A = this chain, B = another copy of it.
Amino acid sequence: MDENLLGIIAGILTSVAMMPQLIKVIREKNVEDISVMMLLVLISGLSLWVWYGILKDELPIILSNGFSVLVNLTLLTCCLIFKNKD
């Protein structure tokens, strides 16, 4: 199979798998179980993956990890907003 196509399918699957959590947090405004520290570590790791993808010039890695960074930045924003409300 073409490597880029494989990477794009892999990226779509791992991105889709993250969506339920994001939707749940936005809907229920419940961030009790989410650790801000864990999100910061995850966002750092994902950003390094984007950097790795740029160095290796691999679009599937840049796109899927870039998308994950956005999703987790949104989760982080939700955490900061909803935690302050309590």
Q: Which of B16, B17, B44, B52 contacts A3 (CB 8 A)?
A: B52
Task: From the candidates B14, B24, B38, B56, name the one contacting A46 in the complex (CB within 8 A).
Answer: B14
CB pair B3 A56 closer than 8 Å: yes
Distance in Å from the Cβ of A34 to the closest Cβ of chain B? Answer: 10
* A16 partner, pick from B41, B46, B49, beta carbons under 8 A: B41
- Within 8 Å by CB of A13, from B9, B14, B44, B60, lies B44
If the complex has contacts A20-B35, A35-B20, A38-B20, are A13 and B45 also in contact, measured as CB distance less than 8 A? yes
| Residue picked from A1, A13, A15, most chain B C-beta under 10 Å | A13
A-B contact pairs, 15 of them (CB 8 A): A3-B52, A6-B52, A6-B55, A7-B49, A7-B52, A9-B45, A11-B45, A13-B45, A14-B46, A16-B45, A20-B35, A33-B33, A52-B60, A56-B58, A61-B61
